[in-house]
Amino acid sequence: MSKPDLSHSVPPSSSRPSVTAKLINGGVAGLVGVTCVFPIDLAKTRLQNQHGKDIYKGMIDCLMKTARAEGFLGMYRGAAVNLTLVTPEKAIKLAANDFFRQLLMEDGMQRNLKMEMLAGCGAGICQVVVTCPMEMLKIQLQDAGRLAVHHQGLASAPSSSRSYTTGSASAHKRPSASLISRELLRTQGLAGLYKGLGATLLRDIPFSIIYFPLFANLNNLGVTESTGKASFAHSFMSGCAAGSVAAVAVTPLDVLKTRIQTLKKGLGEDSYSGITDCARKLWIQEGPSALMKGAGCRALVIAPLFGIAQGVYFIGIGERILKCFK
């Protein structure tokens, strides 16, 4: 993020937003974005985890069946985890990229593609500390409804022995983030919450390498000489465009991460020993097209998510909030 794009929301006495303002901007953007697009993200997880098209034929079909079986709130399964952890995750991602850009690019003012990509790489590495356990818990909650439908269709199949497994879409006892966390910490320690860390890094680092430089360059196209910054609409659209491109580009890695991090499997669904094993089995059993499962959903999730993020960031909501307390 270039300095001209940020300075318009900073008080005259400051040359750039404070770290606190950046964190507030990232947090607010994450909360608003997740609330808007979470049902689509749930559909993405369920589509990526199902083998073939036995349950859901696509995103719309998945959302309609979820709403019928689990109600409107069923489409927000796992949202509490995301809403709790997305604030530090998004704040770290945006603030880290800005920090590395200023560190590597002479205060962030010069445009250098290699340095922009390196800054994005640094942001991706930093955010994974929060992203991995957040995704780990979210995926179990999102996929519970799919497994319930799967088990209903195979009523004679033996159930898993895991204590947080659901038996039906209307079961009284449903998995919770706290229950899953306690069991993972008890049985596997902290490493249990970081299962799929390698796959998460393989997804998030390329995503950030693509997204941040692309956004910065698209946004710079809208910078006017009179204001020295791009308009809100241009920043929003730049975030949407860059997010869509980056999301679709790393979809195969996201599919691998989702499969690896899913603890509870349906009857006939494979477990994976690692990234290579997952990619090999997926390619052999479901074909190369399986690596692009949920690509459309990802684009629909990431585009507005990062469009909102960049819009909030450049409006300077954090700075405005901090001014209220001065």
The CATH number given to whatever domain includes residue 128 is 1.50.40.10
Q: CB burial class (10 A; 0-12, 13-18, 19+) of residue 187?
A: exposed
Tens digit of pLDDT for each residue in 248-259? Answer: 999 999 999 999
What whole-number distance in Å separates Cα of residue 32 and Cα of residue 65?
Answer: 25
Can you read off the two tokens belonging to residue 94?
């945006």
Residue 160 lies in a domain: no
CA 44 → CA 84, 132, 165, 254, 313, distances in Å? Answer: 20, 17, 20, 10, 26
Position 200 pLDDT exceeds 90: yes
Position 165 pLDDT exceeds 60: no
Q: CB burial class (10 A; 0-12, 13-18, 19+) of residue 321?
A: middle
Can you read off the two tokens belonging to residue 56?
């859901």
Residue 10 lies in a domain: no
pTM: 0.80
Tens digit of pLDDT for each residue in 80-107? Answer: 998 888 778 877 877 788 888 888 876 5
What whole-number distance in Å separates Cα of residue 301 and Cα of residue 40?
Answer: 6
Q: What does the pLDDT read at residue 153?
A: 57
> What amino acid occupies position 69?
A
What lies within 8 Å, CB to CB, of 284 at 6+ separation is: none
Tens digit of pLDDT for each residue in 291-305? Answer: 999 999 999 998 888
- Say what the alpha-carbon torsion angle 212, 249, 129, 263 is, to the nearest 10 degrees: 160
Q: CB burial class (10 A; 0-12, 13-18, 19+) of residue 249?
A: middle
The helix-helix angle for 113-153 and 177-188 (nearest 10°) equals 100
CA 260 → CA 58, 223, 278, distances in Å? Answer: 22, 42, 7
Q: What does the pLDDT read at residue 314?
A: 75
Tens digit of pLDDT for each residue in 105-121? Answer: 765 555 677 888 888 88
Residue 162 lies in a domain: no
What whole-number distance in Å separates Cα of residue 211 and Cα of residue 6?
Answer: 18
Domain that holds residue 275: 19-146+176-325
What whole-number distance in Å separates Cα of residue 113 and Cα of residue 5?
Answer: 17
Lowest mean pLDDT among 152-161, 238-247, 248-257: 152-161
Q: What does the pLDDT read at residue 158?
A: 47
Residue 233 lies in a domain: yes
Confidence grade of residue 4 (pLDDT, cut at 50, 70, 90): very low
Confidence grade of residue 10 (pLDDT, cut at 50, 70, 90): very low
Q: What does the pLDDT read at residue 166?
A: 37
Give the mean pLDDT of the chain. 82
Segment 120-142 mean pLDDT: 91
Tens digit of pLDDT for each residue in 43-58? Answer: 999 999 998 777 889 9
What whole-number distance in Å separates Cα of residue 13 and Cα of residue 3?
Answer: 15
Number of independent structural domains in the chain: 1
Residue 9 lies in a domain: no
Q: What does the pLDDT read at residue 152?
A: 66
Confidence grade of residue 5 (pLDDT, cut at 50, 70, 90): very low
Q: CB burial class (10 A; 0-12, 13-18, 19+) of residue 192?
A: middle
What lies within 8 Å, CB to CB, of 63 at 6+ separation is: 39, 40, 43, 75
What whole-number distance in Å separates Cα of residue 18 and Cα of residue 231?
Answer: 21
Closest of 46, 70, 76, 71 to residue 59, by C-alpha: 46
Q: CB burial class (10 A; 0-12, 13-18, 19+) of residue 158?
A: exposed
Segment 26-47 mean pLDDT: 89
Position 156 pLDDT exceeds 60: no
Q: What does the pLDDT read at residue 151?
A: 66
